[in-house]
Structures are given as structure tokens and as C-alpha cells.
Amino acid sequence: MGLGEGAINHRMHTGRLFLMHKGVYVVGRQSLTPRGYWMGAVLAVGPGAVLSHHGAAALHGIRQSNQVKIDVTIPKGHRSDRPTIRIHSGTLDPEDIAIVDNIPVTAVARTILDLAGILQKDPLLRVVEEAERREKFDLRAMESTMARRSKAKGRVKLREILADYRDTPDTRSKLERDFFALVKRAKLPPPQLNTMVAGFLVDVCWPQWRLVVELDGRGFHARRRAFETDRIRDATLQRHGYRVLRITYKRLHEQPAAVLADILALARLAA
């Protein structure tokens, strides 16, 4: 901006500039929002640096951060950490980088993969779930990021988590077959299939019990897009006096007895 050392020192002396990091100044005030500290850390590390790990997750809104040090990743080379900055070095593909509120930051998929290397499985699962809830999770981007970083720490852990959300192409039909096999073994009355109820096409319905069963065999990304629509459907069906039971592929195969118990309990309520 054309300011020499003397001009900078004068502005610092008069309270117009405040030193944040070497070469990075705050204009007009000392107090900053978290975004201000994150941006300052990125600027301090230099060209090509991006906010990453905990700070990146907080900026994307998928995990809170109370870390004292701000994580910043640079594309190559090595630079020493600073008192309030933790510097990581690693390859940054263009798809790994995003801009949020003018702050260069690792993209959501890269952020999740970075966190996989430092978080235990349960908190990592919560990050993935929050990214899904906020409609920021893209399974294809996640797979592409993991493929590019085949040796990244935490990949195995992350794959285990994603396996619970990833459906194979025939999962839907297999879910239907296995559900109807369970119904037949239990000698339940045959339900109506793919029928209209309260203006919606539902998977399974026992009209005599006013019970609707939805078989959730959709993949991770599709399920997230349908999240709000599913809740509207459920509310409408309930207003028309129907109970709605959603059954996932995972639950049907891991807890078939519990699924059957739910169906029978809801049937008894309608008796």
C-alpha cells in the first residue's frame, strides 16, 4: 500500500494500527472476531497458506473450536510454528481449497480428512453428521480427496464411518426383499406396496393399522437432499392419522428383531 516503516510506526503510535503478527496489522481496533484471527494467521504465514483443521471446521460451521493455536496449512516447505499458529505442510490440490468470508480455507472434504488424522472416531462421526446436516457434505468430493491423499492419517477410520452412509447400487432392492422376507417369517398380514397415502407415494402401508413404513435405502448424498422433504411427508401423514416408521438398511440387518418389535407395537396401538 506504499506505507514505509515510519508511516506504519506513526499509525501504531497513534492507535490507528495494531500489530497482530509480523507484517500483519489490525486497523483501528485491537479486538477481533474469530474470523479476524483466522484471516490474520493465514496472512502471517504467507502466500498459498490456508486455514485448516479445527479452524477450518469452525469456519465451515461443522465443528466448534476452542483451540489456542490456529491451524494453517501451506502447500510445501517447512516453517516454524508461531506462538498462536500451528503450521502444517502438505500438498494442496485446487479442489482442496475454498474461500469462505474471503478467508482461504481447506474445502469441507479436505477439512474432514485432516480432522480424521487427529480426532477419535466418535467426534469425527459428529463432524461428518454436522456437515451432512448443513448440506455441506459431498460424498464424491470426499472420495476424490481421499484418493489424492492415499497415505493420509485417519483414512481407515474415516472409511469405516462413511461405510454406514454409502449404499451399493442394489441396496434398495435388497432392502425391500429382506424386509418382505421378515414380514413373511413373522406371518404378518401382507401390506400394500408403493401405494398413495395422503397424497404421497409410500413404500409400505398397513391401512388396518394406519401404519406407513418407509424403507430408507438411499445413499448418503441423496438422503441429505431429501431430509426436509421426508420430515414434511411424515408430518402430513401423522396429521392424517398414520404412524410412520422409517427403517434403514443398517438397522434391518443389524437389529431385525427390534424392527419387527416396532411394527408389532405400532400395530397393537391401532387395535
40-86 pLDDT, tens digit per residue, is 999 999 999 999 999 999 999 999 988 889 999 998 766 666 889 99
Backbone angles phi, psi at 265, to 5 degrees: -65, -40
Q: Please report, to the nearest 10 degrees, the dihedral formed by the alpha carbons of residues 225, 228, 233, 238 taken in order.
A: 150
Cell of 107: 474445502
**219-258 pLDDT, tens per residue?**
444 455 456 677 888 999 999 999 999 998 889 989 999 9
Rounded to the nearest 5 degrees, what angle is found at the Cα of 161, between the Cα atoms of 159 and 165? 100
Supply the pTM of this predicted model: 0.66
pLDDT range class, residue 150, cuts 50, 70, 90:
confident
pLDDT at res. 220: 45
Q: Which residue has the higher pLDDT, 173 or 54?
A: 54
pLDDT range class, residue 174, cuts 50, 70, 90:
confident
> Of all helices (H) and strands (E), which one includes residue 259?
helix 256-270
For CA atoms 91, 94, 97, 99, the dihedral sign is positive
Q: Which domains does the chain have, with CATH numbers?
A: 32-163 (no CATH), 171-270 (3.40.960.10)
What are the CA-CA distances from residue 55 to residues 39, 49, 112, 166, 197 (Å)?
A: 10, 13, 12, 28, 47
pLDDT at res. 83: 85
Q: Which residue has the higher pLDDT, 10 or 250?
A: 10
